[in-house]
Structure 1
Amino acid sequence: MTNRPAAEPATPGIGTRTLVFALVREDGTVDAGELYDVAETLGMTDQQVRLCLKRLVAEGRFTQEGRGRKARLRATADPTGAVAPDVEYVRHAYRQDRGLAPWDGSWHLFAFAIPETARQSRDALRDTLLHLGAAPLQGGLYVAAHAIGDLVEAHARHLGVLPSLTRLTSRDLRVGEERDPARLAALLWPLDAIAERYEALAGLAAARLSAPGRPTGTERLRYAIELAAAFTAAMEPDPLLPPELLPRPWPGARARALAARCWEALGDGAPDRGSPRLFRLYGEALDTRPPATLAPARTTDGPDEPPRSG
């Protein structure tokens, strides 16, 4: 961090449960003393934390050894999904920002007509398309700027509705008389709302980078959790349209660049087993080497579960 003063930025709302999940270390444990200290900086009471831990233990998500601030919790499964990044999705965003994943000019279209008797499968397929960054053109017809076809087809197969799915690719998309790619993107996706979320992320990251002195251990954890929550809030609704389709300058690229600098400053070296696993996960996400798969879109879960957030 630098020595320039900065006003306290707007921070995202963080629930007690999310806080517990975010403090899971590499060895799968949460230090209760650390948890209570960070919770206090976020305005949470000890009673809130105790009740949350009681519920999490009762649900079987954690086991607890000891009591109060000397307790240690152990996760029974990976609970970090609420604020953990989808590594390949975030990595693709940074590759786009650096001009490493140019758009080929192709639009990917998906059409389906699934009867009311299979309404649950129809809704699940629609939600998958939206989760993967597609936009509705009209009833049962969606368009994406990325090659998400294999992911959509796999999900349709799992849902048992693959025969109802039609896929095609076109370089000549028109809506009414509009055919300019950038204007089509502004018409089909809520770019203003997405930009506002990135402005909030940029403001938070910039304020943390300009804060005077070095943060204490508790402050470092609080800032990391706030940054992860703001990053998730900005990235979750973002279809990651290619830069060729976005306004210039695009606040998403600036916000992600500031967030990367902030993570580097907060990480303060290689993560160890005493650090929350968030530091390692974001370190992996910011690695922009070519991914093992060509699919830039977020992954989806099985047919009986909703898609995961980014």
Structure 2
Amino acid sequence: MASPFDIDEIYPDDGDQSLRLPRRQVGNSPQGVAVTLLADYTLRTRAALPSAAIVELLAEAGVTTAGARTAISRLARRGVLEGSRLGRRSSYRLSRAAAANLSAGGHWIITSTAAAARWDGCWTIVAFSLPQDLSTQRRALRAQLRWLGYAPLYDGLWISPRELTAPARAQLDQLTHGAVTVFRGRQVPLDSAGHRAPIEAWDIEAINRSYEEFLRRWTPLLPPVASGAVDGAAAVRARTEVMDTFRRFPVLDPQLPVEILPQGWLRRPAQELFAAVYDGLAAPAERHVRAVVARFTDTAQPGIRAHTTADMAAGVRIEASLPERGYGGAAG
């Protein structure tokens, strides 16, 4: 089975070909960290931040100055960021398409790890056949299926315990142009020992180990977060890292039915831990981002606002943007 971490994109493509979000990598890439930082603190307002402030925030996350500037430049070329200049001063903000995409992705992260509805025992099967010369189309289809919560039981046959929604059907139509068939039904058990159960499309043991590792990594941080001991750059780093780690779980465990999972499945404890850390660090992290931006501006920063998991579950609403020129201040 292909590794579930082979998903091609951090969030799904919304169909705008000019927008290309960074590819998922093992570990944090400079572009991925930059997108997370801007999404965590400017998603609602699409506020423009001085490039020098973005470079400073990325430096605190371990990204070199050269790596930060390269990441900003590439994100602008991809259509993720929009740049503006005032004299020698440059600022960047999330593009409208990227903001909408990231808002949908955040909603998916939270809702996909919430308690699942009772399973009806049926599976949705997506079968497709695309010629080898359509490798780009095959890759896009697989990435979209993975994002929709499907996994490959066999090559060209992907499954999910959930029903295919109308938006998902429209996305598949766009990607396949008819070279796909969808069924929904129950598995017919066979007597032979060699038959493969649908749940085996997912590596259950590996998913469980990922949950255990997440809990080991972040549980010790709960007392310091609750007491307010995590502040400044440490709060921003931890909040960015816990998001970059947790957002993998909806792909690994797309609300798989608890009825066929091992007892004591750790989806809920992981979701509760993520919410406690991410929400608990929202205020100190926002204060620090404001303080860093203030070093490079001579105006207030009304557009810097950290959202919570409750905001993500409701769908972060994109407000009217601040002026495109962004904040004034030091040269970027």
TM-score (norm 2): 0.63
Deviation at 1:47, TM superposition (A): 3.8
User: Is it true that 1:197 corresponds to 2:210 in the alignment?
Assistant: yes
Deviation at 1:231, TM superposition (A): 1.3
- Distance (whole Å) between structure 2 residues aligned to residue 266 and residue 83 of structure 1: 20
Q: Please say if residues 199 and 251 of structure 1, whose CA atoms lie closer than 8 Å, have aligned partners that are also in contact.
A: yes
Judged with a 3 Å threshold, the aligned counterparts in structure 2 of structure 1 residues 21 and 83 are, in CA distance, closer, same or farther, namely farther
- Distance (whole Å) between structure 2 residues aligned to residue 243 and residue 235 of structure 1: 14
Partner of 2:29: 15
Partner of 1:28: 47
User: Is it true that 1:147 corresponds to 2:143 in the alignment?
Assistant: no
User: Is it true that 1:94 corresponds to 2:114 in the alignment?
Assistant: yes
CA offsets 1:209-238 (integer angstroms, 9 cap, x no match): 233643223322222111111112333333
Q: Per the alignment, in what secondary structure is the counterpart of residue 248 of structure 2?
A: helix
Q: Per the alignment, in what secondary structure is the counterpart of residue 248 of structure 1?
A: coil
CA offsets 1:26-75 (integer angstroms, 9 cap, x no match): 3422255653443343233334334444555566733254799x864334
Q: Please say if residues 215 and 273 of structure 2, whose CA atoms lie closer than 8 Å, have aligned partners that are also in contact.
A: yes
User: Is it true that 1:174 corresponds to 2:189 in the alignment?
Assistant: yes
CA RMSD of aligned residues (A): 3.9
- Distance (whole Å) between structure 1 residues aligned to residue 64 and residue 138 of structure 2: 43
Q: Please say if residues 110 and 168 of structure 1, whose CA atoms lie closer than 8 Å, have aligned partners that are also in contact.
A: yes
- Distance (whole Å) between structure 2 residues aligned to residue 120 and residue 47 of structure 1: 31
Q: Please say if residues 34 and 218 of structure 1, whose CA atoms lie closer than 8 Å, have aligned partners that are also in contact.
A: no
Q: Which runs of 5+ in 2 are unaligned?
A: 1-25, 287-300, 316-332
- Distance (whole Å) between structure 2 residues aligned to residue 119 and residue 43 of structure 1: 35
Judged with a 3 Å threshold, the aligned counterparts in structure 2 of structure 1 residues 161 and 20 are, in CA distance, closer, same or farther, namely closer
User: Is it true that 1:258 corresponds to 2:273 in the alignment?
Assistant: yes
Letter in 2 for 1:104: D
CA offsets 1:3-22 (integer angstroms, 9 cap, x no match): xxxxxxxxx83332233323
Partner of 1:8: none
Residue correspondence of structure 1 range 22-101 to structure 2 within 5 A: 22-24=36-38, 25=42, 26-32=45-51, 34-56=53-75, 61-65=81-85, 72-77=91-96, 79=98, 85-96=105-116, 101=117
Q: Per the alignment, in what secondary structure is the counterpart of residue 284 of structure 1?
A: helix
Partner of 1:283: 310
Q: Per the alignment, in what secondary structure is the counterpart of residue 113 of structure 2?
A: helix
Correspondent of 1:216 among 224, 231, 234: 231
Deviation at 1:77, TM superposition (A): 4.2
Q: Please say if residues 108 and 149 of structure 1, whose CA atoms lie closer than 8 Å, have aligned partners that are also in contact.
A: no
Partner of 2:243: 228
Partner of 1:247: 262
- Distance (whole Å) between structure 1 residues aligned to residue 134 and residue 76 of structure 2: 37
Judged with a 3 Å threshold, the aligned counterparts in structure 2 of structure 1 residues 137 and 178 are, in CA distance, closer, same or farther, namely farther
Q: Please say if residues 175 and 184 of structure 1, whose CA atoms lie closer than 8 Å, have aligned partners that are also in contact.
A: no
Q: Work out the percentage of aligned pairs sharing the same amino acid.
A: 22
Q: Per the alignment, in what secondary structure is the counterpart of residue 174 of structure 1?
A: coil
CA offsets 1:112-146 (integer angstroms, 9 cap, x no match): 44555766555544443333222333343332211
Q: Please say if residues 47 and 304 of structure 2, whose CA atoms lie closer than 8 Å, have aligned partners that are also in contact.
A: no
- Distance (whole Å) between structure 2 residues aligned to residue 36 and residue 62 of structure 1: 16
Q: Please say if residues 123 and 159 of structure 2, whose CA atoms lie closer than 8 Å, have aligned partners that are also in contact.
A: yes
Alignment: residue pair count: 266
- Distance (whole Å) between structure 1 residues aligned to residue 168 and residue 76 of structure 2: 37
Judged with a 3 Å threshold, the aligned counterparts in structure 2 of structure 1 residues 49 and 148 are, in CA distance, closer, same or farther, namely same
